[in-house]
Amino acid sequence: MSSYTLHASMFFRDNRLPLKVLHRDPEIPFSLHSHEFYELVVVASGKGTHLLQQESRPLQEGMVFFIKPGTVHGYADIDGLVLYDILIGEKAFTGHLADLREVSGFADVFLQENGSIPLVRLSGHQLSEILSLIGAIKKESEGQDYGNGAAALAYAKLLQLMILICRFYTSRKGTVYQEDPRLQDIIAYMEKHLDRSISLEELVGVSNMSASTLNRQFKLSTGWPPVDFHIHRRIAYASTLLLTTNLSIERISERTGFSDANYFARQFRSHMQMSPRQYKTLWTTPTDD
């Protein structure tokens, strides 16, 4: 099956740290291709299929994987798939490789010496932490004027991101992840009601589980208690509205069930580590490629 190659010159500026963050919202079907640089992919939401030359595998929210130069891959069966792609030039990746090799899980995730491409599965809390750090990397990597330290800070945050992913990977390695099928109906119910709050009592009634069982299974599966998970999904919906509409923050607050705009802003900052306005500016301000 034929493929094509994406070249580093298409994405990286001369004389700068070869690092770029792309927000694919939504991702589109992408035929088989390879690239001259490394690519760290974080699935923020939605579903799809990751195509490799010898296999395909399903993708969903909270998955992270790393693509080495020359690896042929693509995307298909897209269903609201939103990705963050961190493109990393060889110079940026190999700067501290000797030290990074000593980090538990680094060889498995980033060096892939056996040829596999492991999928790192993040909980809701972990994904929020990762997305916040990606936003900081984007901000610094796009402000690489000489003398302001942005390149050094972007590189430091990249190392922080990679080490954090290794820790999350190592913490789950060797455990058997079993998703409770009963949660799928509850999550589908939540997705239908992103315009309002949902109480634990309401979810207990929908799930036919006790409150303690529901809490326990949700934390095992997502890292969040069920009500907090629903707030997280409402904030994710608000993030999409910020990037895809011209609605005011007050109107978005109402559309996502936060009647008080100040409370909405506090919840948004808690989940995204920045204000709604800062988020919109960060991900919608054009930059020179």
* pLDDT given at position 176: 45
Q: Which CATH superfamily is domain 182-284 in?
A: Homeodomain-like (1.10.10.60)
The tens digit of pLDDT for each residue in 19-77 reads 999 988 877 778 888 999 999 999 998 889 999 888 899 998 889 999 999 999 999 99
120: pLDDT strictly greater than 70: yes
The answer as to CATH 2.60.120.280 being correct for domain 4-172 is yes
13: pLDDT strictly greater than 90: no
Which residues is 39 bridged to in the sheet?
67, 87
* pLDDT given at position 177: 47
Instruction: Compare 134 and 128 and report the one with higher pLDDT.
Output: 134
Give the confidence band of 7 by pLDDT, cuts at 50, 70, 90.
confident
* pLDDT given at position 289: 47
CA–CA separation, 216 and 223 (whole Å): 10
- Span 220-239, mean pLDDT? 86
200: pLDDT strictly greater than 90: yes
Residue ranges, comma separated, of all CATH 1.10.10.60 domains in the chain are 182-284
The tens digit of pLDDT for each residue in 251-272 reads 999 999 998 899 999 999 888 7
* pLDDT given at position 278: 86
Give the confidence band of 99 by pLDDT, cuts at 50, 70, 90.
confident
* Cα separations in angstroms, 221 against 12, 179, 189, 272: 38, 6, 16, 21
- Span 176-197, mean pLDDT? 81
* Cα separations in angstroms, 72 against 38, 91, 158, 259: 12, 21, 24, 47
What single letter denotes the amino acid at residue 20? Answer: K
Share of the chain above pLDDT 70, in %: 92
Q: Residues with Cβ < 8 Å from 112, sequence gap 6 or more?
A: 66, 68, 118
145: pLDDT strictly greater than 70: no
92: pLDDT strictly greater than 60: yes
* pLDDT given at position 204: 93
The region of weakest confidence among 112-126, 165-179, 190-204 is 165-179
Residue ranges, comma separated, of all CATH 2.60.120.280 domains in the chain are 4-172
* pLDDT given at position 173: 65
The tens digit of pLDDT for each residue in 234-247 reads 998 898 898 888 99
Instruction: Compare 266 and 172 and report the one with higher pLDDT.
Output: 266
State the first-to-last Cα distance of the chain, in angstroms, to the nearest integer.
30
Mean pLDDT of the chain: 85
* pLDDT given at position 141: 86
* Cα separations in angstroms, 284 against 3, 239, 244: 30, 12, 9
